[in-house]
Amino acid sequence: MAKPSKKHHFVPRSLLNRFSVDGAGDQIWVFDKSSGKSFPTSLMNAGSQNDFNKLQTPDGEWNFESVFDQNDGDLAKLGNIIAESRSVAGLSRDFRRRLADVIAVQLLRTPLARSTLQAVARDLVRTVAEAGLLDGPECIPLPTDNDARRATLAMTSDRATWRAALLTKDLVLFEPSGAARFWISDHPVIRHSPAPNGDTGLQALGVEVYLPLASDLMLGLLCPSVKAKLHERPLEALDLEPAQARRLTDLREGLRTGRPIGRADDVVTTYNRLQVARSARFLYADRDEFSVARAMLQANPSLASVDSLVTVGKLGAGPPRVAHMPAGQMLVLYGRSSWHQVPIIGWDPEAPTVRAAAERPDVLAMAMRDAPFEVAELYQDGHQLRMMREIRVVISDNGPPVRFEIRFSDPAMEALDKAIAT
C-alpha cells in the first residue's frame, strides 16, 4: 500500500519550475518575509507545507491532497503551452475554460485563502465588541484552522462562479524588457483594482488578475472595461506623457495580438511589489535579488506576516482616503461596461439632492454612453462622502458649464429623496 503523502504543495511544482535557478528545475530562491532572509531550496520544499491538505472529520483524518491531482496536471499542460508559444491568441473555448478553472483553484488553495476566513471573523467580532454590541469577543466562537480547511475545500469544489467570472476577462501576456524578472509567492494569483472603491471581487468593474507563469512571463486577465477605455478615444490624440502613451498603446496592441507586452524594470517591480504585499510569508524567484521586498518591509513591517486579504473597518467609519484620487471634487460612475472618473465642481455635500457641474463635459459625455449606472460615488479630496446605487444622471443645463443631477432609478427611492429634500 502506498504511503499517504505528507508534503503538500499549495503552489504546484510545475509552476515553480519556471522560476527555478537557471531554469534547471532543481532549486529556487526563497525570501522569507517574517525573517527578512533569503535562501535556496528544492522545488519539493518550496510552496509546500507538511499535512497542509489534511482535514479532521467525524470519521477520522482525511488526506485530500489527491483532490488537486487533475488541477495540477492541467495547470502544468496549459502553463507549458503558453510559456512555450508565448501567445494567448486563438485559444479555444475549452482551453480558456480549463485555464480559468486552474486559476480559480489556485486562488482558493493557499494558506492566505484559509487564514483570511479566520481573520475576517476575528476582526468582525472584535469590531462589534469594541462598539459595545457584545460582552466581549470571546463570547462568539471563532472558526478553527480545521474549519477554514473545510470551507476552502468546499469553495474549491463549488468554484463555478469564480471560473465564470475569470472567463469574461481578456487575456494578455507581459514580459520584461530589461534586467528585472517576475517573482511568484505563496499566494501567486493577484487581484488588483485601479477603481477608486478598490473592489477586487472577480465580477467588479476594472478588476485585473495577474499570475506569473515564469520569471520572464506573466499572464494577465483584465476586465473588459480596460479594453473599452483603450478604445474610447484614439490614444494618439490624447495629451499623455510619452512613457504613459507607450504603455497604453503597447497594452492595446498586446490585447489585439495575444503576444507579450514588454515592460520596463520599474513596471516589473510594481508587479513584484503586489506579490510582496499580497502574500502570506514567502516569495520565490530564480535569483537572490530581493532588495525591493526588504525595502517594503522596512517601510511597512506589517507586511512581514499577512493573514487576510480583507480589511474590516470600524463601525460607523467611512472608507479610507483614496491615495491616487486627485484633489477637488470627483464623481465616479460604474456603468454597464466600465467605470468613469468625472471631475466636478459646485457640489454641496450637505445638500440632500446631488447637483453639480462637469468640469470636463467631454468626460461626462463618454460616461453617459455607458449608462445605466449601478453605482455613483462622490469624493472630496479623495474622501468618499456619498454613495448611491441604481442611479441615473439627468442633465439639467447644457451650459456651459454642463449641469446635472443624480437621481435614483427606482421611483420609490426617487420619491423618498424628494421628500427628504423638502
| Residues 108, 208 within the same domain | yes
Residue 313 lies in a domain: no
| Residues 48, 127 within the same domain | yes
Calpha distance 333→389 (Å, rounded): 10
User: What pTM, to 2 d.p., does this model score?
Assistant: 0.89
Asked which of 287, 304, 321 is the last residue of a domain, the reply is 304
pLDDT at 81 over 50: yes
Our count of domains for the chain comes to 2
Residue 412 lies in a domain: yes
pLDDT confidence tier of residue 1, bands split at 50, 70 and 90: very low
Question: Which candidate, 211, 212, 195, places its Cα nearest to that of 203?
Answer: 195
The vertex-187 CA angle with 186 and 188, nearest 5°, equals 100
| Residues 146, 263 within the same domain | yes
Residue 416, pLDDT score? 67
| Residues 210, 124 within the same domain | yes
| Residues 271, 357 within the same domain | no
Alpha helices by DSSP H, 52-136: 69-85, 93-108, 111-130
| Residues 233, 333 within the same domain | no
Residue 90 lies in a domain: yes
Asked which of 289, 304, 319 is the last residue of a domain, the reply is 304
Cis bond before residue 400 (omega within 30° of 0): yes
| Residues 38, 95 within the same domain | yes
Q: What rounded mean pLDDT belongs to the chain?
A: 91
pLDDT confidence tier of residue 337, bands split at 50, 70 and 90: confident
Better-scored residue on pLDDT, 183 or 225:
183
All three cell numbers of 385, joined, read 462622502
Range of the domain at 238: 7-304
Residue 2 lies in a domain: no
Residue with cell 474549519: 147
Residue 266 lies in a domain: yes
| Residues 241, 165 within the same domain | yes
Strongest mean pLDDT among 123-127, 168-172, 413-417? 168-172
| Residues 73, 196 within the same domain | yes
| Residues 245, 347 within the same domain | no
| Residues 280, 344 within the same domain | no
Q: Please write the tens of the pLDDT for every residue from 376-399.
A: 999 999 999 999 999 999 999 998
Better-scored residue on pLDDT, 105 or 130:
105
| Residues 221, 280 within the same domain | yes
pLDDT at 65 over 70: yes
Residue 19 lies in a domain: yes
Residue 320 lies in a domain: no
Q: Please write the tens of the pLDDT for every residue from 216-275.
A: 999 999 999 888 888 776 777 666 778 878 888 899 999 999 999 999 999 999 999 999
Residue 252 lies in a domain: yes
Which residues lie closer than 8 Å to 331 by C-beta, 6 or more apart? Answer: 341, 342, 343, 344, 347, 356, 376, 377, 378, 379, 406
